[in-house]
Amino acid sequence: FLRTPGYPVFVASVWNFFGETNLAVLLAQVALSLLTISFVYLLASRMWSTRVGLLAACCTAIEPLQNYASATLATESLGALSLMVLAYAAYSAFTTERPRAVQF
């Protein structure tokens, strides 16, 4: 299987914290899936309206592949969350009146 570089780090960190059990990884992936649904809601409600955000979040929650991916040891939960965080950050950056660089 081909895995993205971040997924083995994710699995190793979950195993380091909770012990080497696949159940812990699956529960962490369910949490990532819930975060993905939250970012879908935030992005859609910010782009259009709260009602559209709620509809988008509900569609994401009942989408079969979203549920299947969070219940298997696969990279899709982490990848979907990364994509939504990136989309939200990009939309936020490009919709401000005066974009500014991030200061550390």
Q: What tens digit of pLDDT does each residue of 4-29 get?
A: 778 889 999 999 999 999 999 999 99
pLDDT of residue 93: 85
pLDDT of residue 68: 87
Buried b (16+ CB within 10 A) or exposed e, 17-52: eeeeeeeebbebbeebbeebbebbbbbbbeeeeeee
Which of the pair, 20 or 69, is modelled with greater confidence?
A: 20
pLDDT of residue 30: 93
pLDDT of residue 99: 62
Q: Mean pLDDT, to the nearest integer, of 35-50?
A: 96
pLDDT of residue 100: 66
User: Which residues, at least 6 apart from 75, have a Cβ–Cβ distance to it below 8 Å?
Assistant: 3, 4, 6, 7
Q: Mean pLDDT, to the nearest integer, of 45-61?
A: 96
Distances (CA, A) of 84 to 23, 95, 101: 25, 16, 21
